[in-house]
Amino acid sequence: MMASDQAIWHTEGSEKRQAVQRMFGEIAPSYDLMNSVMSVRLHHKWRRLAVQTLQLTPGERVLDLCCGTGDFLAPLREAVGTEGTVIGADFCLPMLDKAATKFKSERLAQADACQIPMQSGVVDAVTVGWGIRNVPDIDLAHREIARVLRPGGRFVSIDMAVPKSGFMRWQSNLVFHRVVPFIGRLIGKGEAYKYLPKSTERFKSREELKASMEAAGFRDVRMKDLFFGNVCMHWGVKS
Ligand SMILES: C[S@@+](CC[C@H](N)C(=O)[O-])C[C@H]1O[C@@H](n2cnc3c(N)ncnc32)[C@H](O)[C@@H]1O
């Protein structure tokens, strides 16, 4: 158990916010390594694919929300060029510190996805990688993302998903409920890596996420499964 006596994946609201913030603070030093192990390094490819869906042009202004250690920042910078603006935002300082050591010249800010400290309509695109599942109020975060985007601005989010096929669900259970927490225990972070499969089970379905984006003001919402349906990407355009 973490500091609270309730498992993180059962927390809600402000309790979830604090528990998630604390958990990412604890795993920040091992986050990049675990990410590469769990995704067999495919996570870099998926972020590039997500950035492609945005069809960014040089000079545009993009926000990477829940940026963590910043792995979206490099493909975003490539897409908007030196004349563009890339901002990484996360509410967890140890994750931001890691991002700052990796991407020394990018702009980083401490911010909550449910209360983005930006004026309305000021960014051309928003990315979120494996962040939406962790916020205490997904509908509110989608509304905040829509608010900071200009009309016609684009949004893409990648996150974990439950595979549709029974066989893949069985395999994923084995990998994410047993192997990943086992590796997590080896590095002394067993509870945090139990959170990944547990929070994925409790996460909105693909269709619910799409509906939440549409309700927040996105049109042309599309989705694509990756990694045999263990990961799903959603993207859309601010109306
Ligand atoms: C799984 S990590 C993903 C990091 C990064 N986007 C990536 O692609 O590797 C999730 C990140 O979301 C951040 N996060 C979770 N809830 C948040 C919230 N309410 N506001 C801002 N950041 C949040 C965490 O601090 C963490 O850095």
Query: Do the domain assignments include residue 173?
Result: no
Q: Is the CB of 34 under 6 A from ligand 1?
A: no
31 CA to centre of ligand 1 in angstroms: 11
Query: Do the domain assignments include residue 196?
Result: no
Query: Do the domain assignments include residue 188?
Result: no
21 CA to centre of ligand 1 in angstroms: 8
Q: What DSSP line would sit under the chain, residue for residue?
A: --SSSS-GGG--HHHHHHHHHHHHHHHGGGHHHHHHHHTTTTHHHHHHHHHHHHT--TT-EEEEET-TT-TTHHHHHHHH-TTSEEEEEES-HHHHHHHHHH-TTSEEEE-BTTB--S-TT-EEEEEEES-GGGSS-HHHHHHHHHHHEEEEEEEEEEEE---SSHHHHHHHIIIIIIIHHHHHHHTT-HHHHHHHHHHHHHSPPHHHHHHHHHHHTEEEEEEEEEGGGTEEEEEEEE-
- The residue range of the domain holding 57 is 12-160+203-238
Nearest CA to ligand 1 atom 1: 130
pLDDT of residue 4: 47
* Structural domains of the chain, count: 1
Q: Which of ligand 1's atoms lies nearest the C-alpha of 47?
A: 8
Query: Do the domain assignments include residue 193?
Result: no
pLDDT of residue 5: 55
Ordered per-residue pLDDT tens for the chain, 239 residues? 444 457 999 999 999 999 999 999 999 999 999 999 889 889 999 999 999 999 999 999 999 999 999 999 999 999 999 999 999 999 999 999 999 999 999 999 999 999 999 999 999 999 999 999 999 999 999 999 999 999 999 999 999 999 999 999 999 999 999 999 899 888 888 888 899 999 999 999 999 999 999 999 999 999 999 999 999 999 999 99
CATH number (domain holding residue 30): 3.40.50.150
Query: Do the domain assignments include residue 151?
Result: yes
Query: Do the domain assignments include residue 79?
Result: yes
Residue of 9, 34, 91 to mutate, ligand 1, most atoms within 8 A of C-beta: 91
Q: Which of ligand 1's atoms lies nearest the C-alpha of 141?
A: 19
